[in-house]
Amino acid sequence: MQRLTLTIFAWAMAFSSFAQITNPLINFPTLSPDGNTIAFAYQGDIWTADANGSNPRRLTIHEGYETNPLWTPDGQGLVFRSDRNGNNDVYVINLTGGLPKQLTFHSSSDSPSDVTKDGKVLFHGNRNYRQIEWDNEVQMVNLSGGTPYRYLNALGFYATQSPNGRFVAFVKGSCRDEREAYNGPANTDIWLYDSQNNAYSQLTTDTHNDIYPKWGNDQTLFIQSARSGRYNVHQISLDANGAKSGDIQAITLFTDMGISSFSVGNRGQTILLNKGDQLISVNVATKQTSDINLTIGSDYRFDPIERKSYSKDVDQIIPSPSGKYSALVIRGEIFITENDKEKSRTINLSNSPYRDLEPQWVNDSTLVFISDRGGNYDIYAVRSADSKEGDLFKTLKLDVSKITSTTEEESGLVISPDFKTLVFMRGGGQLLTASISSKGFISNEKTLLNGWAQPYGLSWSPDSKWLAYSMEDLNFNEEIFILKADGSKSPVNISMHPKLDSDPTWSPDGSKLVFTSARSNGDYDIWYLWLKKSDWEKTADEWKYEDEVVEKPKSEPESSKKKKNAKSDDKKEDDGIAPIQIDFEDIHERLEQVTSFYGNEINPLVSKDGKTIYYRTSSDGWGKPAKVDIDLYKISWDKKDHTAITTGGEEPSSLYMDAKNEYIYATLKGGKPVRFKLAGDKKESLPISAKLNIEFKEELNQIFEEAWKALDQQFYDPNFHGQDFDALKATYKPLAMKASTREDFNTVFNQMLGQINASHMGLYRGDLRKDVQSTTTGLIGVELKPVTDGVQVIGKLPQMPADREISTISVGETITTVNGTPINSGVNYYDLMNNTADERVLLTVKNTSGQNREVEIRPVSSNSNARYKAWVQEKKKLVDEYSNGQLGYIHIQAMGWASFERFERELAAAGYGKKGIVIDVRFNGGGWTTDHLMAILNVKQHAYTIPRGATESLDNNKEFTDYYPYSERLPLPAWTKPSITLCNESSYSNAEIFAHAYKHLGIGTLVGKPTFGAVISTSGRGLIDGSWIRLPYRAWYVKATGENMELGPALPDIVLDNAPDERSRNEDSQLKKATEQLLKEIK
């Protein structure tokens, strides 16, 4: 009996430890007004617990992600944010549970920040007022429902109303909250709106982030500030008129880790905060802290292990040497399947929660790949462990063994055509070859390259003697190189051009090296190189003659044929493929362009006889964007025959030619595996049924490790801005692994990155596992406020449906019904407009005289372009007003090709007949076109011309000194008149490079606020579940000063800010100052 009791006790303890989680990673804990109850978010749902952490109770249960709970004034309900309808909306739920009530219905993102004493919810989101600014609109909606309305004329976040209703504290600034260590112009500050005097004042000016204002009482405001180096709670004292009284005081003094969020409860006497996985209560009067122990035992919305079967989502497909099988990469697993359109059976060879990639066949019985299952990306081999069955597809016994074990990671496996040599990368720039046995073991490693730059697009010559690859230099120009595989010769640059060349591949007949190049018209085209000088020297007629003189073999007895074939086979077996002949003298001059179509032609492959080149199209790439369908094409080497193999945008990718040069294997849209038989260009589907178990906890561990290592190896500063990246991992990884949702996992990871204080980095997306509704709001371009009998139009966007002649609605008019449904105080107008984009909608509109009419209108799904154009038009009008018509204005929206082409067009229009031009890069998120713009603005006129008829005598030539035929002599337009440039803290990345260049090259005066200080070249890596880690890898310095532009903002010559509500008054102080300054310089 005692043994039975002990057994039951042990079982109960084990079960209890499994089901109970102590100090879970929660977010946004908030204390009830009476101080008796805690609300918080966990597992993507809203929970409550007693103030001491006991009795946790789940209030909501939904696949959507729900967070940010706020108490209603009576303490009987919670307002929260949820994406259960596909985007973040505001909801309210009773403390006793039940169905939540949805308060906002717009398909933009809404986030609540306060519930006022009179039962209204303040939230930030975007409707019609915000144009290109990075801050949000501050909106308000009744707890009882109805249509929300804009509450402030300023933009910002986290607005909260003082208990007496007079003041609203809010946040302005564009730096992300996760960047705790940021110290610069784009930091977030606390502002105050005084509703009694309709005035705004700035409460904090520290250059670190200040966020989350919370009122203790009418004269006490608490904030979360990083001014001490860590996020802590600070207190601002105010007088009765909202003026700051005394210094800002620290309430908490944490130094090991900053807090994540806090709330004020118990009538302003207690602060509740979370720091990592700690839940802490703070007595405001004494500043004493006490831990609250929270233990949760609950089920979860999703299974910890999910068994999935894939028929698509293939990342890579590699055919076996015999062509009988294909290796597939699906969600970090290696599968093999038969290349048979009637069979779908698929075998998992790697079977690991970690990431297995880059399969390469050694033979049909052995396959090598890379995997991080050992903590580092190493080379592994998989083979049959059954001595009686060596076929990988048929065996039931698999042997997976580690082939390399190094401190650096291996990648880029490519096996030679004779299957005897493996080439691969180690670390960042070391290129090696090694002999590989039929069992996948490698030996005789030889280092061919060892530098900072990594070779891309490794390709073996048909005789397995040479390698081709592309590599960047320190000017980041990418060239094609040929290298002897035994390392006996130095690499030879065969492309020799200042534009990007990449993706080399050899023709199987050994005559050509085919590659892609951006040298011709700004996008990628297919080019090839003649390897032999004698081939290059042949004329078109000679090639035609050679094709014509090929005779059919004369008839001969079968016995003779067999003997001849036998001898031929013996010779092939003894001699192998004939060695490739390469004439290196002036090899870069033997280039031929094959394609010159609109868009990009990439990923070339070549037929067995070297006469046909296959490629796919792309709209991506560095340069001009091209709207083209992504399809597979073929073209003859002499450009005479050009055929589409797929049509309609089937999106072929992962192209791979089989060993016999009979098929091209690929994946189509959605990762569907296919192959194309080159004889006849016939497409064959390859059905698969790939089964795997996704162990989500282990997968998250893999994701954290890979993302961390990628940054550890590639972050541009090896000193990580003075941070210990290993120590950060030790601190934050345990917290990330405690995350109960993928969203929280990403947040913790990004909080870790925030300690490094760098731009262009972060962990994004991922398998969120939820299946929620999708909602799109139909927009007509009006700003609204609720009135007794509907919603009144208080603003209107040009070029939107309500601005069209056939469906115009004027400011001051009231929309009373939507499709016959009356709009009253409990009805949200946007709810009625959801999923109406591109549909006919019937509105009843009452004019200012009280007369009703019906308006048939067709809403659209987005107003972003209209909002941007409206902003630009407002600025153009202001410049015209401020300069009395003497100056033009151009805003550069982004440093991309579309904006550059707009700049070209507007340069003529905006500058026509003007003395100078105002260039504006405020709210420009960056890109790459600075040097194109500098080429336009840096032109120096060296001559002038006069056509016949322009003057009666050339003695008057001095009248024409400002004229020059730029359009016919330069590839880009030119601006040689005076200019001035505006920037601000939301000028980011390449927009900052532009501001630095404009100032230090002496083009003109820079006006506004210092830029963000966020300049690093970035790349990225896709992770196992579709998430993405950004990798800043290249530093940028100002040549004139040697200053690092990352954390080194461009400093204007004239510094000034705009007031938060200037837009509502149709003013722009920065623009006015720039206009005045340029007119002064012109005089």
β-strands 790-796, 333-338: how paired? Answer: unpaired
* Domain stop point among 863, 898, 930: 863
Return d(Cα 837, Cα 107) in angstroms, integer: 12
Identify which has the larger pLDDT, 689 or 628. Answer: 689
The set of residues, in sequence order, having a beta carbon less than 8 Å from that of 84 and lying 6+ positions away, is: 62, 63, 64, 66, 772, 773
Beta strands in 276-323 (DSSP E): 278-283, 289-291, 295-297, 305-310, 316-319
pLDDT at 967: 87
Percent of the chain predicted with pLDDT > 90: 90
In a domain, 180, yes or no: yes
From the list 989, 981, 983, 1048, the residue with the least C-alpha distance to 1009 is 983
Instruction: For residues 844 and 981, state if they share a domain.
Output: no
pLDDT at 20: 82
247-290, pLDDT tens digit by residue? 999 999 999 999 999 999 988 999 999 999 999 999 999 999 99
pTM: 0.93
Instruction: Please check the confidence at residue 958 and state whether its pLDDT lies above 70.
Output: yes
pLDDT at 199: 97
Per-residue confidence at 298, pLDDT binned at 50, 70, 90? confident
Instruction: Please check the confidence at residue 1071 and state whether its pLDDT lies above 70.
Output: yes
The CATH number covering residue 831 comes to 2.30.42.10
β-strands 672-677, 814-818: how paired? Answer: unpaired
Per-residue confidence at 558, pLDDT binned at 50, 70, 90? low
Amino acid letter, residue 21: I
Instruction: For residues 802 and 897, state if they share a domain.
Output: no
What separation in angstroms does the CA of 204 have from each of 207, 211, 215, 818?
A: 9, 10, 15, 45
Per-residue confidence at 406, pLDDT binned at 50, 70, 90? very high
In a domain, 479, yes or no: no
Percent of the chain predicted with pLDDT > 70: 95
pLDDT at 540: 85
pLDDT at 620: 61
In a domain, 833, yes or no: yes
Q: Residues 136-171, buried b or exposed e (16+ Cβ, 10 A)?
A: bbbbbbbbebbbbbbbbbbbbbbbbbbbeebbbbbb
The CATH number covering residue 612 comes to 2.120.10.30
Identify which has the larger pLDDT, 615 or 541. Answer: 615
Instruction: For residues 793 and 918, state if they share a domain.
Output: no
In a domain, 386, yes or no: no
75-127, pLDDT tens digit by residue? 999 999 999 999 999 999 999 989 999 999 999 999 999 999 999 999 999 99
Range of the domain at 836: 782-863
Instruction: For residues 801 and 872, state if they share a domain.
Output: no
Mean pLDDT of 755-771: 94
Instruction: Please check the confidence at residue 4 and state whether its pLDDT lies above 50.
Output: no
pLDDT at 428: 85
* Domain stop point among 627, 650, 673: 650
pLDDT at 131: 95
> DSSP readout, 388-439?
TB--TTT-S-EEEEE----SSPEEEEEE-TTSSEEEEEETTTEEEEEEE-TT
From the list 352, 403, 407, the residue with the least C-alpha distance to 379 is 403
Per-residue confidence at 542, pLDDT binned at 50, 70, 90? confident
pLDDT at 624: 59
Instruction: For residues 794 and 929, state if they share a domain.
Output: no
In a domain, 523, yes or no: yes
Residue 686 CB-density burial (10 A; 0-12 exposed, 13-18 middle, 19+ buried)? buried
The CATH number covering residue 990 comes to 3.90.226.10
Instruction: For residues 842 and 888, state if they share a domain.
Output: no
Instruction: For residues 935 and 853, state if they share a domain.
Output: no
Q: Which helix (H) or strand (E) holds 685?
A: strand 682-685
Mean pLDDT of 62-71: 96
- With both helix axes pointing from N to C terminus, report the angle between 897-911 and 930-937 in degrees, rounded to the nearest 10: 20
Instruction: For residues 795 and 894, state if they share a domain.
Output: no
Which range has the top average pLDDT, 141-155, 534-548, 896-910?
141-155
Instruction: For residues 230 and 97, state if they share a domain.
Output: yes
Q: Give the phi and the psi of residue 583 in degrees, each rounded to 5.
A: -95, 105
Instruction: Please check the confidence at residue 877 and state whether its pLDDT lies above 80.
Output: yes
Instruction: For residues 917 and 1019, state if they share a domain.
Output: yes
Mean pLDDT of 356-379: 95
pLDDT at 625: 62
pLDDT at 400: 95
Instruction: Please check the confidence at residue 434 and state whether its pLDDT lies above 50.
Output: yes
* Domain stop point among 650, 671, 691: 650
pLDDT at 84: 95
pLDDT at 1034: 95
Mean pLDDT of 341-362: 94
Q: Annotated catalytic sites, by residue? A: 760, 989, 1046
Other CB atoms within a 10 A radius of the CB of residue 423 amount to 24
Instruction: For residues 143 and 283, state if they share a domain.
Output: yes
In a domain, 750, yes or no: no
Q: Give the phi and the psi of residue 1051 in degrees, each rounded to 5.
A: -100, 120
In a domain, 758, yes or no: no
β-strands 378-384, 232-237: how paired? Answer: unpaired
| Tokens read off for 938 | 């840096």
pLDDT at 744: 97
819-855, pLDDT tens digit by residue? 999 999 999 999 999 999 999 999 999 999 999 999 9
The CATH number covering residue 109 comes to 2.120.10.60
**Across the chain, what does the average pLDDT equal?**
93
Instruction: For residues 132 and 273, state if they share a domain.
Output: yes
Looking at the structure of the chain, the number of domains it has is: 4
β-strands 1054-1055, 1005-1008: how paired? Answer: parallel
pLDDT at 544: 83
Mean pLDDT of 394-404: 94
Mean pLDDT of 125-137: 96
In a domain, 806, yes or no: yes
